[in-house]
Amino acid sequence: MNFFEIKSFLDEKAFKYESPYFISDDPIKIPHGFSKKEDIEISAFLTAVISWGNRKIIIKNAKTLMVLMDNSPHDFVINHIENDLNNLKNFVHRTFNSNDLCFFIKALNYIYKHQGGLEKVFNTNKKSKNLNKVIHDFRNIFFLLPHQIRTEKHIADPLKGSAAKRLNMFLRWMVRSSKKGVDFGIWKKISPSQLSCPLDVHTGKVARTLSILKRKQNDNIALMELDTILRKFDSKDPVKYDFALFGLGVYENFI
């Protein structure tokens, strides 16, 4: 397929898969259980952080995490006392353990009480083409409090070569329009044009099959390569193609 044929094909698939039915077996269903802005963004952030591996297990563990936070994540983050964190001591998702989780709660408490909340911490320069530096700066703020070094692996740094799939997915959820009932569009200071595709095994394989991605590793260099093409397809909303690439990989086995 040539450029225009690939674009037309992906436009069609993006339209198909960006639909409310997509939510039922995707981690985004967790923040869709809330209506308060802060509950949505905190539940989305924590869900995105543990979003690697089997999606059913991700959703199951994210639901468990919300229950442990009394299904009021913002209230828990703001008002928890040390004893409340004891209730989290048995939580684990792959290598993300209770020590990591307790630090994340404390870091979020600091961000909401002293940094103006998650949206404000993701400050952005409207002229920047992508959010690599924004994510890097957020990471520096997030780890200001004392923490175990091992916990840092759960927040990727694009400036150190990571594709930062989970944070880019979280940002897609927060920034893209809610018009089609999937993403939330509750953050207004970041332009959808600045978002990067959450590059994972599925989107990477499909992109390579379509020859819109050449690099073999799913790293930041590959992400920038893919972003360049997706922005040519749609400069205002390049990450809508995440639905196409992911849907083709997961639901149609297009590899």
pLDDT number for residue 66: 98
pLDDT number for residue 207: 98
pLDDT number for residue 255: 73
Listed as ranges, residues in the chain with pLDDT below 50 are none
Q: Tens of pLDDT along 230-240?
A: 999 999 999 99
pLDDT number for residue 254: 87
**b/e map 86-104, b = 16+ CB within 10 Å:** eebeebebeebbbbbbbbb
- Which residues, including other chains, have CB under 8 Å from residue 87's CB and lie 6 or more apart? 68
